[in-house]
Amino acid sequence: MNKLFVNSFVALAVVFAACSGKKEEAAEQTDWPEMDAFHMIMAESFHPFKDSANLAPAKAQAAEMAANAATWAGKPLPKKVDNDQVKEYIANLKTETAAFAQLVQTGTDEEIGKALTDLHDLFHAIQEAWYGKGEGQHEHKH
């Protein structure tokens, strides 16, 4: 009887440990705070430009966008996207947002608009890696 109790307890402990690890992994796979933070800045910068050619928000937030990208680049990637392609995307995002922060000081509106659009497209490549391409997990309308 005692052996049955011990075996049952061990089996229960193994099941519990396995299930708790899956919950932790699932939570990790659905949350990427650095991407969400960057998304807010990108949306506030890009949509006024896209909707009405208003670059003022992008110019005002360029330094914050660059700082946010630099912070993001210094964080470990979630397991789901910890690969060379996403590492390259985020490194490029860091470099290009820093260049964008400089460009808004002296560039023409045409140059700034093109650079902002390129940053937006690069960010969307990162989002596609996270959410999956065409899987309906994330919808972003423009």
Q: Write the pLDDT tens digit of every residue in 114-127.
A: 999 999 999 999 99
pLDDT exceeds 50 at position 11 = no
Q: What 3-state DSSP class applies to 31?
A: coil
How long is the chain? 142
Tell me how crowded residue 37 is: count the other CB atoms within 10 A of its CB.
13
Measure CA 69 to chain center.
10
pLDDT exceeds 90 at position 98 = yes
Class (C level, CATH) for 32-131: mainly alpha
Instruction: With CA atoms as reference, report the closest residue to 36 among 99, 78, 7, 6.
Output: 78
pLDDT exceeds 90 at position 4 = no
Instruction: With CA atoms as reference, report the closest residue to 70 among 112, 41, 113.
Output: 41
Helix segments in the chain, DSSP class H: 2-30, 33-52, 56-73, 84-106, 109-131
C-alpha torsion sign, points 74, 80, 82, 83: negative
Q: What is the pLDDT of residue 3?
A: 61
pTM of the model: 0.75
Tens of pLDDT along 101-115? 999 999 999 999 999
pLDDT exceeds 70 at position 39 = yes
Tens of pLDDT along 65-80? 999 999 999 999 999 9
Widest CA span of the chain, in angstroms? 82
Q: Are 55 and 17 in contact (CB under 8 A)?
A: no
